[in-house]
């Protein structure tokens, strides 16, 4: 993969620099370039190449139809799907304390499937492979240390002493976003004091191309279907419990997992190594500053219980591309405050609504006193029977 050497990094009068080449930043760079903006992508770490012979990476995501649509528009979806992706057509969510459950079925929505489970590094790799052909300048590995906003451009200062000038800086530099901090944009939210333990497991019964999620008093446990027949788990647990579960030997771990999953897919018979990720809700107070926008986890970090983090990020990408392209086509300055404001307002309100809903779900499922558990059960059963409401929820999750 070609990386531009330091000596060639002088990039006069580029339209956009995207900082952060994760799934969201790479998609943003590709989308903006395809829309006709001269674009550079700056990333601190060279992404690890994805090889079909490697085991399924531990980090996977559920991609909603809106994300698949964007990746398809960018010309990368077919190669991601054909490489290794598992479609799912059904979702079963149940409550460990009262037995109430809710089901979502693609057929009820008149669709073939609800989404796909894919490896993060596969999505990122295919996007990176498409960047060259699209004419995106890739600067990697480079760390953006600082930036200075001038009347007609933003000057990015790189850790190696080089600088890059652009009309618009797009920060997709992840949840800890150094650029968001540098722009002085505050965040609000809360630390869940939980970690999501992830692993791939083999189960006695097949996953049947369904996502299974059980809400336990300590947090949700999801089993997501993988293309090779195994399931990927995302098990949210309080910090100390997560540490304990990580330290179990494989035999004890699969035993506990079988119990926690209510043996829904039978016994868990094997596991890969495990990893854990801290969970928080974090929302940027604005997505915009002068010649500067935020997107992806840099703008919003949400609880993984709804499997929507990167889907929201990819919706940011589609909106940013559409808003900037429309402004340019109307003969307006695409980097002006009023244009950026349109993107920022639309996406921040949509993301905030979703993030708060996921947070409300996490809170509701944490109720443990008997009357509240019973009330929750009644509510879940009611939603499961109200077809129009369920359809609206499913359409919203699809992002279409
Ligand atoms: C356990 C778990 C399960 C999840 N499951 C789902 C799911 O099912 N569905 C879903 O939609 N989402 C899911 N998510 C959320 C999803 O993983 C994230 O939303 C997504 O990975 C964020 O991508 P990003 O590109 O915004 O940020 P990142 O992937 O964090 O990328 C940021 C990039 O910026 C680079 N960078 C940072 N600072 C600089 C700098 N100064 N200069 C240059 N580069 C820099 C970093 O090296 C990094 O590559 C899950 C999250 C977790 C923790």
Residues 155, 156, 161, CA angle at the centre, nearest 5°? Answer: 115
Q: What's the Cα-to-Cα distance from 377 to each of 101, 199, 380, rounded to whole Å?
A: 8, 29, 5
Give domain status of residue 372, yes or no.
no
Query: Whose alpha carbon is nearest atom 15 of ligand 1?
Result: 309
Token digits of residue 158: 């790189």
Q: What distance in angstroms lies between residue 301's CA and the mean position of ligand 1's atoms?
A: 9
Q: pTM for this structure?
A: 0.94
Per the structure, the complete domain to which residue 270 belongs is given by 6-363
Does 323 reside within a domain? yes
Residue owning tokens 């077809």:
387
- Listing DSSP states for 96-118 in one string gives TTT--EEEEEGGGGT-S-SEEEE
Task: Please indicate whether residue 220, judged by its CB atom, sits closer than 6 Å to ligand 1.
Answer: no
Residue 380 Cα to ligand 1 midpoint, Å, equals 31
Nearest CA to 324 out of 299, 297, 293, 287 is that of 293
Ligand 1 in reach of 174 Cβ (< 6 A)? yes
The reply to whether 389 falls in a domain is no
Is any atom of ligand 1 closer than 6 Å to the C-beta of 22?
yes
Q: Is there an atom of ligand 1 within 6 Å of 166 CB?
A: no
CA of 262 to the centre of ligand 1 (A): 31
Q: Return the half-sphere exposure (C-beta side, CA atoms, 13 A cut-off) of residue 177.
A: 31
Centre of ligand 1 to C-alpha 283, Å, is 14
pLDDT at 295: 97
The CATH number of residue 48's host domain is 3.50.50.60
- In a domain, residue 76? The reply is yes
102 neighbors 74 (Cβ within 8 angstroms): no
Cβ 144 under 6 angstroms from ligand 1: yes
264 alpha carbon to ligand 1 midpoint, in Å? Answer: 30
Instruction: Choose among 52, 186, 184, 167: nearest CA to 119.
Output: 52
Distance of CA 117 to the CA centre of its chain: 12
Q: What's the pLDDT score for residue 8? A: 42
Encoded tokens for 226: 């993988």
Is 369 domain-assigned? Answer: no
Spatial neighbors of 110 by CB under 8 A, at least 6 apart, are: none
For atom 39 of ligand 1, the residue with the nearest CA is 173
Question: What was the pLDDT predicted at 281?
Answer: 96
What pLDDT score was predicted for residue 12?
54
CA 222 – CA 225 distance, rounded (Å): 10
Q: In the prediction, which pLDDT does 1 show?
A: 38
Structural domain contains residue 262: yes
Is 386 among the domain residues?
Answer: no
Number of domains into which the chain is organized: 1
**CB distance 23 to ligand 1 below 6 Å:** yes
368 within domain boundaries: no
CA 163 to ligand 1 center in whole angstroms: 25
As a whole number of angstroms, the distance between CA 162 and CA 142 comes to 10
Residue 175 Cα to ligand 1 middle (Å): 7
- Determine contact, residues 47/3, Cβ cutoff 8 Å: no
Each residue's pLDDT, cut to its tens digit, for the chain (400 residues) gives 334 444 344 445 799 999 999 999 999 999 999 999 999 999 999 999 999 999 999 999 999 999 999 999 999 999 999 999 999 999 999 999 999 999 999 998 889 999 999 999 999 999 999 998 899 999 999 999 999 999 999 999 999 999 999 999 999 999 999 999 999 999 999 999 999 999 999 999 999 999 999 999 999 999 999 999 999 999 999 999 999 999 999 999 999 999 999 999 999 999 999 999 999 999 999 999 999 999 999 999 999 998 899 999 999 999 999 999 999 999 999 999 999 999 999 999 999 999 999 998 888 888 888 888 888 888 888 888 888 888 888 888 888 7
Ligand 1 atom nearest to CA at 45: 47
Residue nearest to atom 49 of ligand 1 (CA): 22
How many Cα atoms within 13 Å fall on the side-chain side of residue 352? 14
Distances (CA, A) of 314 to 120, 147, 201, 338: 13, 25, 28, 22
Any atom of ligand 1 within 6 Å of the Cβ of 74:
no
């Amino acid at each position: 993969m070609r990386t531009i050497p330091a000596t060639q990094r002088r990039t006069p009068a580029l339209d956009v620099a995207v900082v952060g080449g994760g799934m969201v930043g790479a998609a943003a760079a590709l989308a903006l370039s395809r829309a006709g903006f001269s674009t550079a992508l700056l990333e601190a770490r060279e992404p690890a190449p994805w090889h079909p012979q490697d085991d399924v990476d531990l980090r996977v995501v559920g991609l909603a139809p809106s994300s698949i649509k964007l990746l398809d528009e960018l010309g990368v979806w077919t190669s991601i799907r054909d490489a290794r992706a598992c479609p799912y057509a059904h979702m079963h969510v149940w409550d460990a304390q009262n037995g109430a459950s809710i089901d979502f079925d693609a057929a009820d929505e008149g669709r073939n499937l609800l989404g796909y489970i894919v490896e993060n590094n596969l999505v990122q790799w295919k996007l990176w492979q498409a960047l060259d052909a699209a004419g995106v300048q890739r600067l990697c590995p480079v760390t953006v240390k600082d930036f200075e906003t001038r009347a007609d451009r933003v000057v990015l200062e790189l850790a190696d002493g080089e600088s890059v000038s652009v009309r618009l800086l797009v920060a997709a530099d992840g949840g800890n976003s150094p650029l968001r901090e540098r722009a002085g944009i505050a965040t609000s939210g809360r630390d869940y004091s939980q970690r999501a333990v992830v692993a791939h497991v083999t189960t006695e019964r097949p996953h049947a191309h369904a996502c299974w999620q059980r809400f336990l008093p300590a947090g949700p446990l999801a089993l997501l279907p993988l293309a090779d027949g195994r399931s990927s788990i995302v098990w949210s647990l309080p910090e100390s419990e997560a540490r304990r579960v990580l330290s179990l030997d494989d035999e004890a771990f699969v035993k506990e997992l079988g119990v926690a999953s209510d043996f829904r897919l039978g016994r868990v018979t094997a596991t890969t190594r495990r990893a854990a990720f801290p969970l928080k809700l974090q929302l940027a107070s604005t997505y915009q500053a002068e010649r500067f926008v935020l997107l992806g986890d840099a703008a919003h970090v949400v609880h993984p219980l709804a499997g929507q983090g990167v889907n929201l990020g990819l919706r940011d990408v589609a909106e940013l591309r559409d808003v900037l392209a429309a402004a340019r086509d109307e003969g307006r300055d695409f980097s002006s405050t009023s244009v950026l404001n349109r993107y920022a307002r639309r996406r921040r309100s949509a993301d905030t609504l979703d993030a708060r809903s996921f947070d409300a779900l996490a809170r509701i499922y944490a109720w443990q006193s008997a009357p509240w558990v019973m009330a929750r059960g009644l509510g879940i059963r009611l939603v499961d029977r109200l077809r129009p409401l369920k359809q609206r929820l499913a359409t919203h999750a699809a992002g279409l």
